[in-house]
Each structure stands twice: as structure tokens, then as C-alpha cells.
Amino acid sequence: MESIDVLVVDDHPLFRRGVTAVINSQPNMKVVAEATNGREAIAAVKEFHPTVVLMDLSMPEMSGLQAIPCLLKEAPKTNVLMLTISEKDDDLFNAIRAGARGYLLKGTDPDELVRAITHVAEGGVIISAGMAPKLLSEMGAEPKPAEEAATVLSPRETEILHIVAEGLTDKEIADRLFISVNTVKTHLKNILAKLHLKSRTQAAIYEARTHNVPESDAS
């Protein structure tokens, strides 16, 4: 894919510089701007239109959570990835509800961070290990156990569920499997119904949870 432009938003200069160094060391990524709070992040999004906004949760003047709706209003295609120390359930739930496509903890390994940025840029959903089950439960889903799911999903549906977890779009799934986009949509609708899930995001989290896929590699 094309170069991934990243906006790094954090009120701690030393941490911000470290993250920027990691990102800029990648051949297909670059930090186009930095910001110290949500208000600055909104201005930077207007100017630079980054692919991914990597943002802390708690910051002065305007928090990351408060900034998310404004960022997405300015640039709907921007992918917001939270990078925070908070393991609070409410912070996770509220960030995802506000429109964040991912939630990572600051203890994340640099290589995992790079993979997460790439995955979110490609349309995937990233949740730190251990937090996905909480999110799935909060979102009102009562998924079937993996063993039961294997009996209710057809081989094709199982295949599509796995690909959804890779973050591919309906068109990309259709191209990979040599089927129509409408067929993909029909399969996905059936998958959600059979597994008692409500959205594509829940399906991706479900796949990571039930098949022990590292959250940084799962959609």
C-alpha cells in the first residue's frame, strides 16, 4: 500500500519523540505532524489529512476522547488509534463508541505498534490483548463458543470470518475468493446472525478472541 501518514498526539515530548522515531524508521510510514492535545490534533488533521491518528487518551485542554468526533467530522477516512496507559473498561468502550478503530496500551512492543498502525490503516480494528472480551461483552454480544461456532458456520462462512479479521474490505474479500461483493455481504450477514454478533467490528474481535489471534494482528 501507499505510504502511511501518521499524526502523533501525546502531551509528553519524550514519549512522542520515541514513537515518532519508531514510525519514521519504517520504509512505508512517516510522521507528518505532532500535537500535544486534542485541539492541536484537530488543526493538524485539517492541514495534513493523515492516514492514522495515533492519540493518547488523557491530555490537557482537550482529551483524545473529546477530539475523536471532531477529527472524524473533519476527515471521515482518518483512522484513529488510541495509545494510552488506561486499562479502564469505560475508556475502552467510550473510545470505540466515539469512532476509534483501535485501542493499544503504552506497554505495546514497537513491532506490535507498527503492525497495528498498518492494520488500522488498511481498515482493521485493533484491541490490546485481554481487553477484547470486555469490549465484546459491553457491546451487547453474546457470541457462541468457538466449538459451537464451528458447527453453525459453513466452511465458506468460516473462511470469510477469518479474512474479515485481516481487515479486508468486501471488495478485497470478493477478489480473493473469486465471488461477488453481494455474495460476501450475504455471507457476512449470515455470520453475524449465527454468532449473535451485531457488526463487522464485533466479528473481527470475536475471531481474535476465539482463535487466540494476537489482537495487534487481528481485525
* pLDDT for the residue numbered 213: 42
Residues 64 and 20 in one domain: yes
Of the three residues 128, 160, 184, the one that is the final residue of a domain is 128
Instruction: Confirm if 48 and 21 have CB atoms less than 8 A apart.
Output: no
Of the three residues 64, 98, 128, the one that is the final residue of a domain is 128
Number of independent structural domains in the chain: 2
Would the pTM count as exceeding 0.75? no
- Per residue in 132-186, pLDDT tens? 555 655 555 455 555 555 557 888 988 998 888 777 778 889 999 999 999 999 9
pLDDT over threshold 80, residue 129: no
On average, the pLDDT of the chain sits at: 83
Of the three residues 93, 128, 163, the one that is the final residue of a domain is 128
Residues 143 and 197 in one domain: yes
CATH code, 161: 1.10.10.10
Grid coordinates representing 71 are 477529527
Residues 106 and 21 in one domain: yes
Q: Domain of residue 54: give its range.
A: 4-128
Shortest CA distance to 31 belongs to which of 14, 13, 43, 48?
Answer: 48
- Per residue in 14-26, pLDDT tens? 999 999 999 999 9
pLDDT over threshold 70, residue 60: yes
